[in-house]
Amino acid sequence: MAVFHSQDISGKSFLVTGGAGFIGSHIVEYLLANGAGKVRVLDNLATGSIRNVDLFNSDSRYEFMEGDIRDTAVCRAACEGIDHVSHQAALGSVPRSVKDPVTSNEVNVSGFVNMITAAKDAQVKTFVYASSSSVYGDEPNLPKKEDRTGNLLSPYAVTKMTNELYASVFGRLYGMKVVGLRYFNVFGPRQDPEGPYAAVIPLFVSGILNETPVYINGDGEQTRDFTFVENAVQANIRGMLCENEAAYGQVYNVAVGANFSVNFLYNAIRDLLSKRHEATYREARSGDIRDSLADISKAKELLGYAPTRQFLDGLKLTVEYFTGK
């Protein structure tokens, strides 16, 4: 993985909430590989996996704390002695939030307020948090620009927009240095292929490999700005270590700036696996956005963000991971 910072971080301490999850574990890996003084993970293992962070156990700079962000005491303990926070802990998935909006709200809104309050009280230097492209809702224009959002289409989107509102207020009211990252369809190694809310790429890989049913929602022509996880790691590192004061108190698109249809994705995976397994089409999902494409100029300008992995390059690495090659 490329290096996304120039500072010496050997004297700095980092907290990654949701650090046993897909994106979080990659952030932890980057920090430890690049000389961080201390990296603490807070995770309740509801959707994350201890397997994702077991590889760090032998590193004395790494600390794992099992706990829930809905518990204020846990959040306070996690922030003790911490310089920089990357808040990834959340209940993802639009369909999960449609089915159970209450739990999504408890984790993603109440849990967020607990964490940002604990970070404020601990006087952390920076607080970076995961938002989502779902906040664009039914805003029809492409590419998506940070200052244009539409009607929200799911409880999940509401929770992420609420995070942005709280972060903005905490920045203005308490002088916190906060950065929000609107992720666009992040994918890569360690993404969970199991369970009812598994992400689409590991599901496709697993189904094609095992020749089990693979479902595509709607006609498959919906488009997404698929973003390799290394790009999401970069945005978090640049956000936490940013020296540009104008960059704080903002939200940024984290993507590549190119979109592909789900059908194109499916066929690309089939080609990489040298398989001809056919997909099964079914009804479109409620709450889903039809087309997605990010304008990443703001992140480039203020954070110095520049994607290091394009879609097909990242897809090849991901398929190799899931096939053990």
Q: Exactly one of 136, 156, 252, 305 is catalytic; name it.
A: 156
Vertex 112: Cα angle to 289 and 20 (nearest 5): 85
Bridging pattern class, strands 13-17 and 38-43? parallel
Pair 315, 226: CB distance under 8 Å: yes
The secondary element (H helix, E strand) that includes residue 162 is helix 155-174
For residue 321, indicate whether it is catalytic. no
CA dihedral 122, 123, 124, 128 (to 10 degrees): 100
CA dist., res. 19 & res. 27, Å (int): 8
Beta bridge partners of 41: 16, 64
Residue 166 CB contacts under 8 Å (≥ 6 apart), including other chains: 112, 113, 116
Residues with catalytic function: 156
